[in-house]
């Protein structure tokens, strides 16, 4: 999965991870699959809620404002590309869409016409032709672990440890 990596630094979480690593015969991969799926589900929910992992609302996109739709959800390709992978060491949640990083991090960039002399698009209900367009994309984070995600991760790990010990 391209370009975005996050690690969690939480003393209680690290304690759970260490305990689980020391449990002989414990199904760490199975637990990580459950945790990864929980975070994937929460990430996909952010597209419905239009907010980042901290609960901050995304800036409405021009398309969503003009058409009455949702930001980052025109075709649902990005939302539907969110997947999780897990092994005995941990889990990752991400997407293989190359443009995901642009939405996650935001930034300024220029789009230039490649195959034709001009880019043609509708802006403010009018057709516009430009050789290049400068874009200032606002950051719309969708990947990450929210406070609620971390609480669920800790509770799931604690429950798994208790079930294994008993």
Other beta carbons less than 10 A from residue 79's beta carbon: 18
Q: Over pLDDT 70: what percentage of the chain?
A: 95
- What is the predicted pLDDT for the residue at 19? 80
What ranges do the domains of the chain cover?
11-106+139-165
Taking a C-beta distance cutoff of 8 angstroms, is the pair 107, 137 a contact? Answer: yes
Residue with tokens 């995304």: 58
Q: Are strands 83-87 and 132-137 parallel, antiparallel or unpaired?
A: unpaired
Examine the pLDDT at 17 and tell me if it is beyond 90. Answer: no
pLDDT at 1 over 50: no
Q: What is the pLDDT of residue 14?
A: 81
How many Å apart are CA 109 and CA 134, to the nearest integer? 6
Average pLDDT, the chain: 90
Which two three-digit tokens encode residue 99? 């443009």
CB 58 within 8 Å of CB 50: yes
* Confidence bin at 7 (pLDDT 50/70/90): low
Contact assessment for residue 156 and residue 34, using Cβ atoms and an 8 Å cutoff: yes
Q: pLDDT digit string (tens) for 97-127?
A: 999 999 999 999 999 999 999 999 888 889 9
Higher-pLDDT residue of 44, 4: 44
Cβ-contact 142, 72 below 8 angstroms: yes
């Amino acid at each position: 999965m391209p370009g975005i990596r996050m690690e969690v630094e939480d003393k209680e979480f690290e304690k759970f991870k260490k305990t689980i690593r020391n449990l002989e015969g414990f199904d760490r991969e199975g637990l990580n699959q459950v945790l990864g799926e929980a975070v994937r589900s929460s990430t996909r929910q952010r597209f419905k809620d239009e907010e980042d992992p901290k609960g901050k609302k995304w800036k409405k996109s021009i398309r969503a404002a003009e058409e009455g739709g949702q930001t980052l959800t025109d075709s649902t390709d990005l939302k539907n590309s969110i997947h999780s992978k897990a092994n005995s060491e941990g889990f990752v949640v991400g997407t293989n869409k190359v443009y995901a990083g642009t939405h996650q991090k935001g930034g300024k960039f220029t789009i230039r016409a490649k195959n034709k002399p001009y880019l043609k698009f509708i802006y403010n209900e009018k057709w516009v032709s430009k050789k290049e367009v400068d874009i200032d994309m606002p950051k719309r984070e969708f990947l990450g672990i929210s406070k609620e995600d971390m609480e669920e991760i800790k509770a799931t790990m604690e429950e798994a440890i208790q079930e294994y010990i008993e």
